[in-house]
Amino acid sequence: MNVLKVREDFPILKNGLNGKPIIYFDNACMTLRPRQVIEKMNEYYYNYPACAGRSHHKLSKMATEEFSKSRSIIRKFINAKSDKEIIFTKNTTEGINLVAKSFKFHKGDVIISTDKEHNSNLIPWQLVARQQGLRRERISTKEGFDLQHFEHVLKHAKSNSNRSFVSMVQTSNMDGTSIPLKEIVNIARKYDAVVMLDAAQGVPHKSVDVKKLDVDFLAFSGHKMLGPSGTGVLYGREELLNRLDPFITGGSTVDDTTYDGATFTQLPERYEAGLQDYAGFIGLGAAVEYLKKYIDDIHVHELKLNKIITEGLNTHVNILGPQDPKLRSGIFSFNAKNKMDHHEVALLLDSYANIMIRSGRHCVHSWFNDNKIDGSARASFYLYNTEEEAKIFVEKTKEILKMK
Ligand SMILES: Cc1ncc(COP(=O)(O)O)c(C=O)c1O
């Protein structure tokens, strides 16, 4: 991967902000977009700005073709069996909510998650469990993922004739650690559990093959992988998707209605109610086309940056998660040893050095509350970040910490 060549494609990296270069390290929240994605969205607005899949005129046919093409590109990217298994959503959050609210649970079924879930994979389950009388179990990752406890929970549920539904974060946005997916899926299969992954920080950074992973559902966001904001994908195994209750209903989700009833249509339209963000999903197809050229190199590249920053700053800051950068993917979450507030660190980096990171609790409030930590500063990397930027980040952070 030629990072300098990649950077040429990103207008904001080429032009900077007010003529000054920026260092963008807030990729876990949202990534930048290459011109190829922006141009593809504009192509829709300039050339065929119509609804897809409904009308029979030329513009609608062009929109339909591009929209469908995008779905196939995304399907191939994660190696799903059929385009029917690719549901377009607003984001990861909507994908998880769709499954949580539509899956046919029985009272007593068990939802199993980790202690490090983003609010998007926590709150939907809290509500559904309360409404439907489900049990929730939390697996600790403090000393590494507790596989023994995990298996115990599944075994216990099965021996009580309850079904288990595993919904877990693939890679944590808070500290960058990943769960041992192969072992988790193997154990889950032994006990006939359903497995869903919050892959918001997985799919953008490493090649994901849903057939090889053998997961049932997987949700991710377009805006975390060079795509337009407000685009996301829910992958679901066709036979399971067919068994969900429709989530948001309305136009496009039905074959027919009467005053008293509706016949729901086939996948994937059944779960895509109303007119869609056609420009967005067509842009997401372009983002995936772009990303697939580099996907096998991104993780290794991020580890290299994380190593530079970890080695440069580990005597000045406390790192959240393991010390070894190889275990934290593209995330460096930290608090200053001299107790400078994490928001202050982020604000100073921005105002003093044009370095953009995030500070706060990263929507993982539950973990921060449990660990009695009030937040952290977080730098997160992507394919266009350079080793030079990592070194500047180290130097500027040290300078800023001296201001306290
Ligand atoms: C691990 C993880 N899960 C879920 C989400 C929610 O993503 P979105 O806001 O795009 O729905 C995020 C966003 O930061 C995330 O990092």
Cα 92 to averaged position of ligand 1 atoms, centre (Å): 6
- Confirm or reject: Cβ of 169 under 6 Å from ligand 1: yes
What's the confidence (pLDDT) of residue 61? 97
Give this prediction's pTM: 0.98
The per-residue pLDDT for range 348-385, each reduced to its tens digit, is 999 999 999 999 999 999 999 999 999 999 999 999 99
Full DSSP string of 160-219: TT--EEEEEESB-TTT--B--HHHHHHHHHHTT-EEEEE-TTTTTTS---HHHHT-SEEE
Q: Which residues of the chain have pLDDT under 50?
A: none
Q: Give the residue from 7, 166, 182, 175 showing the smallest Cα distance to 96.
A: 166
Can you list the domains of the chain with their CATH numbers? 3-26+295-401 (3.90.1150.10), 48-291 (3.40.640.10)
> Whose Cα sits closest to atom 14 in ligand 1?
29
Closest residue by Cα to residue 71 from 81, 84, 60, 59: 84
**Is ligand 1 within 6 A of the CB of residue 118?**
yes
DSSP 227: P
Per the DSSP assignment, residues forming a β-bridge with 86 are 235
16/314 Cα distance (integer angstroms): 29
Residue of 29, 89, 93, 177 with the most ligand 1 atoms within 8 Å of its CB, for mutation: 93
Q: β-strand 217-221 against 194-198: which pairing, if any?
A: parallel
Q: Say if ligand 1 is within 6 A of residue 362 CB.
A: no
Is the CB of 198 inside a 6 Å radius of any atom of ligand 1? yes
Query: pLDDT tens, 97-119?
Result: 999 999 999 999 999 999 999 99
Q: How far is the CA of 178 from the centre of ligand 1 (A)?
A: 15
Atom of ligand 1 nearest to the CA of 198: 3
Query: Which pLDDT does position 83 carry in this prediction?
Result: 98
Backbone dihedral angles phi then psi of residue 379, each to the nearest 5 degrees? -105, 135
